[in-house]
A = this chain, B = another copy of it.
Amino acid sequence: MTAVSRRSGGRPARQPRRTGRRAGDSGTREAILTSARELFAEHGYDRATIRAIAARAGVDPALVHHFYGTKERLFTTAMQLPIVPSERITAALEGGSREPGETTGEHLVRSALAVWESPGVQGAFMGLLRSALTSERAAAMVREFVTRAVLAPMAGSAGSRDPAASDPQDADFRAALIGSQMLGLAMARYLLKLEPVASAAPDELAAAIGPTIDRYLTGSLGSL
């Protein structure tokens, strides 16, 4: 806010009138979102300033505020663009593109790695994780987003296959356990770069971690 008002104050009172308003808007919005994704990934939520994002996009900080209001809105808009997690997870759980003999868990791990490592997503995903870990507010935002878009569709498929042990209440617990393993995988592979997980082949990780996900989805959760 301070930075913006300072900058706006320094701006010439009049600017040349823009023509082609709509086309310009759409190009400018895209440039801002690209710049936001890059800077959130590089610096995390707190340290990526609107001013720096605007500077990289080549626009005035006031315009970023005009389009997106707050940094939070800019953040969520930028982060929600590359993929719609709930759709990907539902597709993975339904197994449309599953390889023969592949379990649901293996397929989920392989699909997640493919999405995380596809162009444009990893930077955004890492920015999301970094932000969640350095800002309480961003953590709350990511927590809500992950709960609705990631855990809820998984909880819909979760539950013990043993009717005697089945408990609809535990679906959320199962989904959060899956979340913990997948978050830890992302953190070990991309952020801490713990070897040999950091450079293991996706197939190797799917084979090793898939059974964990399968047990969290439908297996016994212990003797309690």
Contacts and interface: CB of A to CB of B under 8 A. Distances in A.
Interface of A: 43-44, 47, 106, 129-130, 132-134, 139, 142-143, 146-147, 151, 172-173, 176-177, 179-185, 187-189, 191-197, 200, 203-204, 206-212, 215-216, 221-224
Nearest to A44: B134
Q: Counting chain B CB atoms within 10 Å of each CB, which of A195, A197, A222 scores highest? A: A222
Copies in the complex: 2
B176 A196 contact: yes
A216 B188 CA distance: 15
B176 A180 contact: no
Nearest to A209: B177
Q: Is the interface of A mostly helix, strand, loop or mixed?
A: helix
Nearest to A103: B222
A155 to B, nearest CB: 11
Nearest to A150: B194
